[in-house]
Amino acid sequence: MLVYYTEIPNSWEELIQDCGSSVMIENSAKANVKFNDKYFKRIINWKGHFINAFANLPFMGMGVNIEHYININVRMTPSESLSNPDLFM
């Protein structure tokens, strides 16, 4: 099954306005709906600052969860956190 994703022009600032941390605190259901409608499974081109990356070692006998095997942490501008990454993949 092929899955095609569409590219959208939304900026990082728009994401913060639509479903950032303050919106999540105010109304998390609304923020989740907005995220799923506007951003989920869409291609977005943003520039951020690489913080770090690391690999999770699989547990013996449990297999590997390939979706979370390698983590990449990114800080965006403006950032919503003083010490944590804004995005992690």
Tell whether 51 and 81 lie within a shared domain.
yes
The predicted pLDDT at position 35 comes to: 95
Per-residue pLDDT of the chain (89 residues; tens, 9 = 90+): 777 788 888 999 999 999 999 999 999 999 999 999 999 999 999 999 999 998 876 655 555 555 567 888 999 999 998 889 998 87
Contact 69, 54 (CB under 8 A): no
Tell whether 51 and 21 lie within a shared domain.
no
Q: Which domain holds residue 41?
A: 1-45
Tell whether 52 and 39 lie within a shared domain.
no
The predicted pLDDT at position 49 comes to: 93
